[in-house]
Amino acid sequence: SPRASAEDLSDRIKVSFEFFPPKNGDMENQLWESITKLAPFQPDFVSVTYGAGGSTKQPTLKTVSRIASETSLAPAAHLTCVGSDKASVDAVAREFKSVGVKHFVALRGDPPEGVGAAYQPHPEGYANGAELVAGLRAIDDFEISVSAYPERHPESPDFATDIDMLKRKVDAGATRAITQFFFDNDLYERYVERVRRAGIYIPIVPGILPIHNFGQVARFSKLCGTSIPDWLARRFDGLEKDPETRALVAAAIAADQVTDLVERGVDDFHFYTMNRAQLVYAICHLLGLRSGETPAVGAAA
C-alpha cells in the first residue's frame, strides 16, 4: 500500500522542480522563498521556463544565473525556438552555458498568438523540438530534456505522429522527457506503454501540477488537451469562495496522484511549482523525502 511504501521510498524517489522567471520584485521574493524552501529536498535539477512566444531570454537567464551562482542546485534552462533564426537560438544557448547551464529543456514553443494558433516556423529557424535538440547537441554535450504528451499534443493528429516526434527528439540526443501535466494516471501509463513499444527507452517523467486555482487549470487544460476527469471537477465544486479548503483538497488530489504513480513503479517526478512551495513541499514529504539539515541555498562553493 502507499502507506507501507512511504516509509522507505526516499532512496528511490527523485524529484525536480519547475519555476517561471519573476516579473517584478515581489514575484522575485516569492520565487526565492520557494526555491529556498524546496532546495533541501535535493532535487535532481530545478528548471526555469522560457517566455511564451520566445519573448525574452533575459528573465530566464537572470534566474538560472542566480541559481547557478548562489545555490548548490543544478539549473536547467528551458529554451524555445519559436520566432527566432538558428543563429539567435544558438547564441542564447551559449549565453546560458556561459553562466553555468549544462542542462536544457528544449522546446519548440507556441505561436505568439497563443496555444492552439497555427504554428509557423521561422524561415531560418529550427522547425520543431527535434531540430532544436540537434542544434544544442552541436554546441556542446548538454543534458537535454524534452516534452512528452500523454494525451497527445493538440497539433498531433494521432498518437503515432506524436510519438514519432518524441522518437526524433531522442534520436537527436534527448535523454529525458517531461510530460505535460495530466490528472488521469491510466492515460499516462498507456502512453508510456505506447512509447516503449515505439522503441523509446528514456525516462518519461510525469509532470505534476498541484492545483492552486482550479478555474485557471481547467481553462488551460482545454487549450493544451489535458482532460479534466469528472471526479476532479466535482472535488472542487462549491469551493469557489473557500481558498483554504481548496488548498487542502488540492494537496489531497496531488498526493493521491503521486502515491498511485509510485504504486505503478514511477520513481521520478517533475513538479510544476508555479513558484509556490507549500503544496509541493507537502507532497515531497508524503513521498518520504525529508528536507534534512543541509542548506542548499547559500551553500555554493
What residues are labeled active site?
18
To the nearest whole angstrom, how small is the minimum distance from the Cβ of residue 4 to ligand FAD? 31
CB of 73 vs ligand FAD, minimal distance in Å: 18
Residue 44 makes contact with ligand FAD by CB under 6 A: no
Smallest CA-to-CA distance from 144 within 47, 220, 236 is with 47
Q: Minimum distance from CB of 200 to ligand FAD (Å)?
A: 12
Which residues face 105 on adjacent strands?
Answer: 78, 145
- Residue 274 C-alpha cell reads as 508555479
Residue tagged 516569492 (cell numbers): 30
Residues touching ligand FAD, count (CB under 6 A): 22
Give yes or no for residue 56 binding ligand FAD (CB under 6 A): no
Q: Least distance from C-beta 126 to ligand FAD, angstroms?
A: 9
Show the site string, 215-254: x = touches ligand FAD by CB under 6 A, - = not: ----------------------------------------
175 binds ligand FAD (CB under 6 A): no
The string of DSSP codes covering 87-142 is HHHHHHHHHHHHTT--EEEEE----TT-TTSPP---TTS--SHHHHHHHHHHH---
The C-alpha cell at 70 is: 548562489
Whole-number Å distance between alpha carbons of 279 and 21 = 19
212 lies in the site for ligand FAD, by CB under 6 A: no
75 binds ligand FAD (CB under 6 A): no
- What does the block give as the cell for 7? 516509509
Q: In whole angstroms, give the CA distance from residue 57 to residue 301.
A: 26
* Residue among 56, 161, 216, 294 that touches ligand FAD (CB under 6 A): 161
State the amino acid at position 151 in one-letter form.
Answer: E
Q: Is position 162 an interface residue for ligand FAD (rule: CB under 6 A)?
A: yes
Q: Of 176, 167, 168, 103, which is closest to residue 140 (Cα–Cα)?
A: 103
Instruction: Write out the binding residues for ligand FAD, residues 77-116 only, by CB under 6 A.
Output: 78, 80, 105, 107-110
Q: Least CB distance from residue 282 to ligand FAD, whole Å?
A: 22
Site residues, ligand FAD (CB under 6 A): 49-50, 52, 78, 80, 105, 107-110, 128-129, 147, 153, 155-156, 161-162, 165, 178, 180, 207
